[in-house]
Chains A and B, each alone.
Chain A
Amino acid sequence: MTEPGLGAAILEHEQTGRPDSDAIDATLAASGDASAFERLYRHHVPRIYSLVRRMLDDDDADEVTQDVFVRAWQKLGTFRGEAAFGTWLHRLAVNVILARREMLGTRRKRYIEGDAVLEVLPTRRPGPELTMDFESAMERLPDGAREIFVLHDVEGYRHEEIAQMLGLATGTSKSQLHRARLALRRHLER
């Protein structure tokens, strides 16, 4: 027998089954429902903020994260539901981040070739916070190696996708990833 009063609770917005809820909220948000868009924001902001913070300087993370969601709001009409909303939003976020980089002029000389990448990381700092230590080591990679490492190893994009997004040869993406991994390996083992 069902517990009395359970029905009263089911008017609340369901928090489970997010992909389905995302599709519903994206539909509602596209019609101008800001509360539906806020639900999407609440669900996806940790992943978007993490992406932004790992690809840009910490000082810019809040502003660029907000830029991503404002841009998403403006572009909701182009979301067709062919991919999951989270996938669509993530790709949009990458574009916003790359545009930000472009604006800041940080694309120059980003793709450092050869062993120069390996020399930019300082000695690993002592302490138990290995996760944060790894984060700070990533932040010290040259911009090009850093963004490719984040996109490939953290976010799971393939080299072909990265090359397309960044306007690079696939081989450049592979070599930069390898340089970044070697640098981080040395950092971890110091």
Chain B
Amino acid sequence: MSDRWVERLSEYLDGELPVAERAALEAHLESCSDCRAILAGLRRVAARAHSMELQAPRHDLWPGIARRIGATPARDTPAGRRWSFSLPELAAAAVVLMTLSGGAVWINRSNISAPAIAPVATGSGLPTPTPAIHANRSAAQSYAAAVADLEQVLAGGRGQLDSTTVRVIEQNLAVIDRAIAQAQRALNADPANLYLNTHLAETMRRKLDLLRQAATLVPVS
């Protein structure tokens, strides 16, 4: 056994030895059973570490976190940070949803690999890959277009869905649309209200979620 080589075994194991030293160490390993045994042991340690299971806390830590961030009993904003959101800002959040949700539906339904750039909705049916110029499109327009696209997919496929399913989806959409309208009316009167802002964002998100999942129920023709 050579101490010189023992000291390099972890680097060898991690693929971090220069080529020449690697070759020299491998030649040494051919003739040194002690180093081979140590290397095998190091490999077992690393493998054990890689496969360690996650541990959950023994009790729920969320109540303490919620208390510290001021989130209980009602939702609140991070300490020291309080602002309101305009509809365009809320719609900007929805753009994230649109690119993820609408894009996922498009990819799923088109049965093709994802494009290198994120898709956004267009008015021509399913979303198409986005040229850079579309990045400047207004967030509110993008949200509306994503909703319109998904509604179009759903409308085109409703004849292929069970009538009860269609009824439930339409009832849920109606409930969400009423909630969005109510939140928008309330925000017109109180634009800085944080609860109304977050409620509207959440409701818009739920509408996209519902439409996206409903669209996946439509069999691909």
User: What residues make up the interface of A, taking CB atoms closer than 8 Å to B?
Assistant: 1-8, 10-11, 13-14, 17, 20, 23-24, 27-28, 31-38, 41-42, 45-47, 49-50, 53, 61-62, 65-66, 69-70, 73-74, 76-77, 81, 131, 134-135, 149, 153-154, 159, 174, 177-178, 181-182, 184-185, 188-189
Contacts and interface: CB of A to CB of B under 8 A. Distances in A.
Given A34-B69, A73-B69, A2 B161 contact: yes
A33 B201 contact: yes
Q: Specify the main secondary structure of chain A where it touches its partner.
A: helix
Given A5-B168, A70-B68, A53 B198 contact: no
A36 B198 CA distance: 10
Contacts of B138: none
Given A42-B62, A49-B56, 20 more contacts: A7-B165, A7-B217, A10-B172, A14-B209, A20-B100, A20-B101, A24-B97, A32-B77, A33-B202, A47-B54, A50-B55, A62-B59, A73-B65, A76-B78, A77-B81, A134-B48, A182-B38, A182-B42, A185-B42, A188-B48
Contact of A24 (B10, B64, B96): B96
Interface in B155-176: 161-162, 164-166, 168-169, 172
B164 A185 contact: no
A131 B54 CA distance: 11
Contacts of A66: 61, 64-65, 68
B85 to A, nearest CB: 6
A42 B53 CA distance: 17
For the side of the interface on B, what is the size category? Answer: 35 or more
Nearest to A21: B100
B9 interface: yes
B52 A131 contact: yes
Given A7-B214, A73-B69, A1 B209 contact: no
Nearest to B41: A185
Contacts of A61: 57
Interface string B63-104: 011101101000111111110010000000100110011001
B32 interface: no
13 contacts: A5-B168, A10-B209, A10-B214, A24-B100, A28-B198, A31-B85, A32-B82, A42-B62, A45-B56, A46-B55, A73-B78, A185-B41, A188-B44
A33 B75 contact: yes
Contacts of A17: 104
Contacts of B165: 2-7
Contact of A184 (B45, B69, B172, B206): B45
Interface string B188-213: 00000010011001100110011001
Nearest to B54: A46
B53 A131 contact: yes
Contacts of B161: 1-2
Q: Specify the main secondary structure of chain B where it touches its partner.
A: helix
Given A69-B65, A73-B69, A153-B50, A32 B75 contact: yes
Contacts of B80: 74
A163 B206 CA distance: 44
B9 A134 contact: no
Contacts of B48: 134, 184, 188
B100 A23 contact: yes
A73 to B, nearest CB: 5
A37 B62 CA distance: 10
B190 to A, nearest CB: 15
Contacts of A10: 169, 172, 209-210, 213-214
A62 B172 CA distance: 40
Nearest to A81: B96
B102 to A, nearest CB: 12
A190 to B, nearest CB: 11
Nearest to A13: B209
